[in-house]
Amino acid sequence: MQIKKVGVVGCGLMGHGIVQVAAQGGCEVVALESEQAALDKGLGRVDRSLAKLASKNVEKGKMDQAAADAWVAETRGRISGTTERGDLADCDLIVEAIVENLDVKKELFAGLGEIAKAEAIFASNTSSFPIGEMAAASGRPERFVGLHFFNPVQLMKLVEVVRTDETDAEVFEAARAFGAACGKAPVSCKDTPGFVVNRLLVPYMVQAIDMLDRGDASKEDIDTAMQFGCGYPMGPLTLTDYVGLDTTLFILQGWTERYPGEPAFKVPASLERLVAEGKLGRKTGEGYYKWDGDKKA
Ligand code: CAA
Ligand code: NAD
């Protein structure tokens, strides 16, 4: 079961990175967006990221300029974009990276189930929802996995590969092999809330936000403490801005609704307020911090 052609649905923060690493891994990739403007934005990000990686390789002496230019052209040449779902019909694998909303994802997979070839494997990049529910909606639960990449996809080396009780063993192995071809270390996970990373990471982010909301310490001090005290690359409030406050809120709302008795899952007051104000983090220029493009303002 070889994955040669990949469809990626959603070309936002995560989707554009998945498009890129799949192409870097040698696959032909079709990116599907709901609107042309969003597609252009996502593919523009791919262009900037490829240029950055190429110039770093030249700086480090890993490639000369001609080889770097050829690598960019070859990788980009494997990527195309579309706003027509039907263009994914002959893909071997379709990875979903749209908004963290279970109903919207289920509806998407039900539609994909109608148009994709029978052998195609489906995968969701969900941060928190049950893979089994989307698998059931797709009409092909045995050919369904979770493929959970990390932000920024181009730099983070992990992919969680999630199986349900119904996932076919060969499908699971093909998904792990695809993750490895994308340059990631695959870890196997069961279909549990947040899999491994988010089950640990999101409650930690909640604790940091609660600490800020109580006035126990400033956001800068909380972040500095975890960066220098624990050696984390960024503090939890910077990380929340990085992930997106909307995505973080959707994860927590889904969990508090589904597991009301779990004390690790709660929605902090400031998270709800900032999202209502449209302050979604780095992507909108303000969240817990103000941002100027990729850097803090
Ligand atoms: N493509 C290419 N290059 C990129 C890039 C991209 N997408 N993003 C950043 N870079 C480059 C930067 O331009 C920079 O280049 P220069 O050195 O030439 O300036 C270089 O990579 C390093 O970036 P930064 O200067 O921003 O500095 P950094 O050393 O802090 O590295 C980081 C950035 C890798 C993001 C690091 O801060 C980090 O690991 N942060 C934690 C991220 C994390 O925890 N992610 C998981 C989030 S949770 C999740 O994803 C799951 C979920 O479901 C919510
Ligand atoms: P995002 O808002 O940046 O991107 C979502 C994209 O999907 C948008 O560009 C939107 O136009 C597009 N879209 C929405 N509905 C669509 C449809 N029906 N067809 C085609 N395109 C559609 O969100 P994101 O941060 O990239 O998150 C995407 C998924 O990845 C979510 O499930 C999220 O939980 C998960 N995830 C996010 C992170 C993170 O750090 N942000 C990390 C890992 C996983």
Query: What digits encode the pLDDT tens for the residues 84-137?
Result: 999 999 999 999 999 999 999 999 999 999 999 999 999 999 999 999 999 999
User: pLDDT value at position 174?
Assistant: 98
Ligand that comes closest to the CA of residue 154: 1
Against a cut of 0.75, is the pTM above it?
yes
| Distance from residue 61's CA to the centre of ligand 2 (Å) | 35
Over residues 16-71, the pLDDT tens digits come to 999 999 999 999 999 999 999 999 999 999 999 999 999 999 999 999 999 999 99
Distance of CA 256 to the CA centre of its chain: 21
Can you tell me the distance from the alpha carbon of 246 to that of 121, in angstroms, rounded to the nearest whole number?
28
Residues forming CATH 1.10.1040.10 domain(s) in the chain = 199-287
The model's confidence at residue 2, banded by pLDDT at 50, 70 and 90, is: confident
Helices (H) and strands (E) in the chain, counts: 11, 10
Q: Which of 133, 138, 148, 286 is catalytic?
A: 148
Render pLDDT for 163-208 as a digit per residue (tens, 0 to 9).
999 999 999 999 999 999 999 999 999 999 999 999 999 999 999 9
Question: Which ligand gives the minimal distance to the CA of 13?
Answer: 2
**pLDDT tens sequence across 221-241:** 999 999 999 999 999 999 999
Give pLDDT, residue 137: 98
CB of 108 closer than 6 angstroms to any ligand 2 atom: yes
Q: What is the pLDDT of residue 268?
A: 98
Catalytic residue (one of 49, 125, 138, 198): 198
The answer for residues whose C-beta is within 8 angstroms of residue 107's C-beta and 6 or more apart is 137
24 in ligand 1 pocket by Cβ < 6 Å? no
- Exposed/middle/buried for 263, CB within 10 Å: 0-12, 13-18, 19+? exposed
Looking at 127, 128, 133, 138, which residue is catalytic? 127
| Tokens matching residue 70 | 């050829």
CATH of domain 199-287: 1.10.1040.10
Residue 208 CA to ligand 1 center (angstroms) comes to: 21
What CA–CA distance (Å, rounded) separates 280 from 287? Answer: 5
**C-beta of 161 in contact with ligand 2 (< 6 A):** no
Backbone dihedral region for residue 91 (phi beyond 0: left; psi -120 to 50: alpha; all else: beta): beta
Among the four given CATH numbers 3.40.50.970, 3.30.1360.120, 3.40.350.10, 3.40.50.720, the one describing domain 5-190 = 3.40.50.720
Q: Is 148 a catalytic residue?
A: yes
97 lines ligand 2 (CB under 6 A): yes
Percentage of the chain exceeding pLDDT 70: 100
Whether 198 is catalytic: yes
Listed in order, the ranges of the chain carrying CATH 3.40.50.720 are: 5-190
